[in-house]
Amino acid sequence: MSGRPAGGVEHPEQLRSYFKMEWAPLTLVTVSGLLYNAGLTAGPYFEGQMAQRLFDILKGARAPASMAPLAGMYLLTILVVQAMRSVKRFYVRRFANDTARAMRRMLYNSLVHKSRAQLRRESVGAVMTRAVSDVDACAEGMRKFTTEVFDTGVALAAYLTMLFVYDWRLALLSCMFTPAAYLIASHLKTTVTRYGAAYKKSAGELSDATLDRVAGALTYRVYGREPDRDRAYEARLSDYERKAAAANLWENTMQPIYNFISLAGVVPLIWLGAKNVLGTGWKTWDIAAFTTFLACFIKLAAKSSSAAKLFNAVQRAQVSWSRIRPFMQPYEEPDTATELDFAHPGTLRVSHLSFAYPGGPEILRDVSFAVRPGEIAGVTGPVASGKSTLGRVFLCESPYRGNVRIGERELSSLSEYERSRLVSYLGHQPELMSDTLAENIRLGKSGDIAPYLRAACLEREAAEMPDGADTFAGSGGIRLSGGQQARTALCRTLYNAGAVLVLDDPFSAVDRGTARELLQNLRELSKDRAVLLISHRLELFPLLDQVLWMENGSCTASTHGELLEKNPAYARLFRAQEGGAERETKN
């Protein structure tokens, strides 16, 4: 199977790949940036000429009307220069937006394709912080860098050229203070980076504390630990505020110092420039030359201080990049032109399967069974017997021993994409998005969901919602009842069904009559699929093709009738539930 990296970035772990990806807008940025920043020197030139013209008018050497053509040329030049600036800013912003989008897509693909075990090792708050701020900080640093290459680099070169043309010795003397601002900014790099990293870490810890405070609010209240938790949270909040203030201080408040150092060269400029005007200096100037030189120097000094600030912004972006770079690994999206044929996958065969989570005891031991297409096998057993673990084996989050074959294909040898085409898994805790009911079912695909709403006994309830199937489910499906959440997740699984359906307790939140109807619909939609139905409710098991009894990690595969006769534990569990069902009916 061939593929391409998600997001269209060839090497997403390398910053230069994002510049390469956006070569078209960057080309327009280059052309407009050169024209704009080279044209900036026209401002000081015309300002000097107009100052000289005004002086001549006041002396009576020129008519007042002579100022109009000069002012008109000045305005026309500024108009063209500002038009180039608008073009440059538009395409720089487009470059930053496209880069941020590509980075977010890479970060998303990296996170959703990590196993749950890997994600559990990550701090949830830290991941949230990366997703919310670090990508934006990187993209903003790249935008500022791209902007300042022209607005600072090209502009500085243009201003320096003009200064050297007017008086190269005075240019050297007045500009000698500018490198000092760069030098100070360079020396502060380590400090800015350290405070920025501390701020990011504290933000992640605060996010963790916030989530913990919300998720465990009831527990803390019940056990009388809420005051302790509040004090701990306030400590995290205070730490975050201190570190945020320190990071902001080092990044932003150094700007006045940069400005002062860069502008210090104005003192020798005025002193020696005045000598040039009086004819006693290195050059002979008129008022136009002095005004142009002074205006150029002030603009150059301002650009220099902006460049020093740019160093801090780039350093901040480097901190963010170092945090998210491990997540910017290329994920190969499948090439649908070369995907395998999944039309007739064959029988599900599990042979001598053993499984243990990394570093934990063995949970499944020598499990073997087979489920043909069109069959529904119920999986049940006592608490902690390995039922749910058996279902999760099909996700291949951790390695297993033995064989799990679908037709001739060994599950562990398939790519993640191929497994997603063959196996559909429904966990016992529905994971719903903050989107519409329909989008929670389609997951970005297009197609009619009505048959699947009927199959999940959700059609009538969906029709009664304010916007039908386009009603928002809310964060985590909070606007739906527990039963509606479970049936929405079942509907999604059926809509996106693979050759094997693994359903972990799909009927737990519905009544017995609805559960029976759901089973009938499931059998109708799964005529060519193998289904594993994991459940502790056994009232439907007489209707299943076979039953897998799990106990102490081992599995007995048989029919419902045979297990009633030969397995006392299964018989006791079934009859206990059957008696409860009879009492429920009588009541």
DSSP for 235-293? HHHHHHHHHHHHHHHHHHTTHHHHHHHHHTTHHHHHHHHHHHHHT-SSS---HHHHHHH
Q: What is the DSSP string of 356-403?
A: E-TTS-EEEEEEEEEE-TT-EEEEE-STTSSHHHHHHHTTTSS--EEE
Q: Cα dihedral angle (203, 207, 209, 212), rounded to 10 degrees?
A: -170
For range 289-304, the mean pLDDT:
81
pLDDT bracket for residue 4 (50, 70, 90): very low
For range 81-85, the mean pLDDT:
85
For range 249-278, the mean pLDDT:
76
Q: What is the DSSP string of 444-456?
A: T--S--HHHHHHT
Q: Which amino acid is at 348?
A: L
Q: List b or e across 309-322, with b for residues whose CB sees 16 or more CB atoms inside 10 angstroms.
A: bbbbbbbbbbbbbe
pLDDT bracket for residue 1 (50, 70, 90): very low
Q: pLDDT value at position 354? A: 93
Domains of the chain: 3-188+254-330 (1.20.1560.10), 348-586 (3.40.50.300)
The answer to whether residues 43 and 55 touch, using CB atoms and an 8 Å cutoff, is no
pLDDT, tens only, 407-464: 888 988 887 778 877 888 888 777 777 778 888 888 777 788 888 888 888 888 888 8
State the pTM of this model. Answer: 0.52
Q: What is the DSSP string of 466-531?
A: TTGGGSB--GGGTTS-HHHHHHHHHHHHHHT--SEEEEESTTTTS-HHHHHHHHHHHHHHTTTSEE
Q: Which amino acid is at 150?
A: F
Examine the pLDDT at 401 and tell me if it is beyond 90: yes
pLDDT bracket for residue 559 (50, 70, 90): very high
SS3 state of residue 558: strand
Q: How far apart are the first and last CA of the chain?
A: 59
Helices 287-324, 189-215: axis angle to 10 degrees equals 50
Q: What is the DSSP letter of 436?
A: B
Nearest-Å Rg of the Cα atoms of the chain is: 35
Tokens at 359, concatenated: 């570093």
